């Protein structure tokens, strides 16, 4: 399933944005096929994204550039909206008007089968003057050296269980993936390191390791963002050298809320559905986005398997993760469960006390 060879040349056939519907028929590899994944500097890049890598390698980043990095389905779209508005001083029009968020913040390694070099985002970005803001799902070691050295990198991580659920819905909705797998099969691809842009824990640990030593890398979790988005906005603003007042911060919170983004055509990725690349009847691009949704989808046995994998992988990369731990459910749920457990413990103690007195 995984190739180890390095891509040495880009394809040259032309596929423009108006031909994306027809392009779905030309995907020669689908999930699970031999040739679907390419091991590129430790990141298993999926087809057809790896066809863009020769152009990605040549991309030259500058100190002005901002790179938003994440493992797929970890909140990069949400982060992109926040970063874009921070850079534009909290102006709602910067996000809600004009082109789509994906056009404002292109994905560095994005490609379609046979896409011409001059149509690739990496090439277009290289021709753009001034500050560039872009997204990537490449692991840290797979980034162009200039991005590692010069760009400001913002990494968002999300707990593996919710990423697995979101990936399953997203892959089933993407028509060109031709994926009809179960939640068990999706989870298995994570546990077997055959998921796109995996291995998952190496991806997270690679950026966490660098965040400890690099002033130019900002690391945050999706769960932290949801728990206190204002704190995250302020942290990102400081990182990017922006000073925002309370009104600007309030604008960002409002415009980047899930409800606003889901109802806005510039942020809800409705164009993917209209182009025939994604079926929103199966799942919209922006689905739930909550913490702990895995509880609604994992059987007890699947949860046991995934939990054991998380424990094992956590020990393997512990040195890089340091004291970092994922949050696997909503904080309010955790607090409620601790409250219930405390009450149960108190009842147990009272029962034992009463039993002793009665005896």
Distance CA 175, CA 171 (A): 8
Distances (CA, A) of 95 to 23, 80, 137, 153, 239: 29, 10, 22, 20, 20
Quote the tokens at residue 138: 């490449």
Is residue 66 within 8 Å of 151, Cβ to Cβ? yes
Task: Give me the DSSP letters along 159-222.
Answer: -HHHHHHHHHHHHHHBGGGT----HHHHHHHHHTT-STT--HHHHHHHHHHHHTT-TTEEEEEH
Distance CA 235, CA 154 (A): 11
Query: Which residues have C-beta within 8 Å of that of residue 136, sequence separation ≥ 6?
Result: 67, 68, 69, 107, 108, 109, 143, 147
Residue in the structure block whose two tokens are 């291995």 = 199
Estimate to the nearest angstrom the gap between the alpha carbon of 146 and the chain centroid.
22
Q: From the candidates 41, 77, 88, 137, which is the catalytic residue?
A: 137
Active site residue 137: yes
Distance CA 134, CA 150 (A): 14
Report phi then psi at 213, rounded to 5: -115, -10
Distances (CA, A) of 197 to 5, 49, 80, 97, 158: 16, 10, 19, 32, 14
Question: Catalytic residue numbers?
Answer: 137
């Amino acid at each position: 399933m995984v190739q180890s060879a390095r891509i040495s040349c880009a394809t040259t056939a032309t596929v423009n944005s108006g031909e994306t519907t027809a392009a779905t028929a030309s995907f020669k590899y689908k999930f699970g096929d031999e040739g679907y994944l390419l091991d590129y500097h430790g990141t298993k890049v999926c087809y057809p994204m790896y066809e863009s890598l020769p152009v990605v390698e040549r991309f030259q980043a500058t100190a002005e550039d901002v790179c938003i990095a994440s493992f797929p389905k970890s909140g990069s779209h949400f982060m992109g909206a926040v970063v874009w508005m921070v850079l534009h001083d909290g102006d709602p029009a910067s996000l809600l008007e004009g082109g789509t968020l994906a056009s404002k913040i292109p994905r560095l390694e994005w490609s379609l089968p046979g896409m011409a070099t001059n149509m690739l985002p990496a090439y277009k970005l290289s021709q753009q003057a001034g500050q560039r803001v872009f997204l990537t799902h490449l692991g840290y070691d797979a980034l162009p050296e200039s991005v590692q050295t010069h760009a400001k990198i913002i990494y968002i991580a999300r707990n593996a269980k919710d990423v697995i659920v979101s990936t399953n819905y997203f892959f089933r909705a993407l028509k060109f993936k031709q994926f009809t797998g179960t939640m068990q099969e999706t989870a298995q691809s994570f546990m077997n390191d055959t998921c796109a842009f995996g291995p998952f824990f190496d991806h997270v640990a690679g950026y966490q390791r660098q965040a400890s030593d690099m002033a130019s890398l900002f690391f945050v979790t999706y769960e932290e963002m949801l728990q206190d988005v204002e704190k995250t906005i302020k942290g990102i603003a400081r990182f990017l050298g922006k000073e925002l007042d309370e009104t600007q911060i309030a604008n960002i919170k409002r415009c980047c809320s899930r409800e606003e983004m889901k109802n806005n055509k510039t942020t809800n990725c409705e164009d993917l559905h209209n182009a025939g690349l994604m079926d929103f009847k199966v799942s919209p691009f922006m689905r739930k986005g909550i913490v702990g949704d895995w509880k609604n989808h994992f059987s007890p046995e699947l949860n046991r398997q995934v939990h054991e994998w998380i424990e094992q992988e956590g020990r393997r990369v512990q040195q890089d993760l340091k004291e970092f731990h994922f949050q696997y459910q909503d904080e309010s749920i955790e607090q409620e469960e601790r409250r219930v457990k405390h009450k149960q413990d108190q009842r147990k103690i009272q029962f034992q006390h009463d039993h002793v007195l009665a005896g």
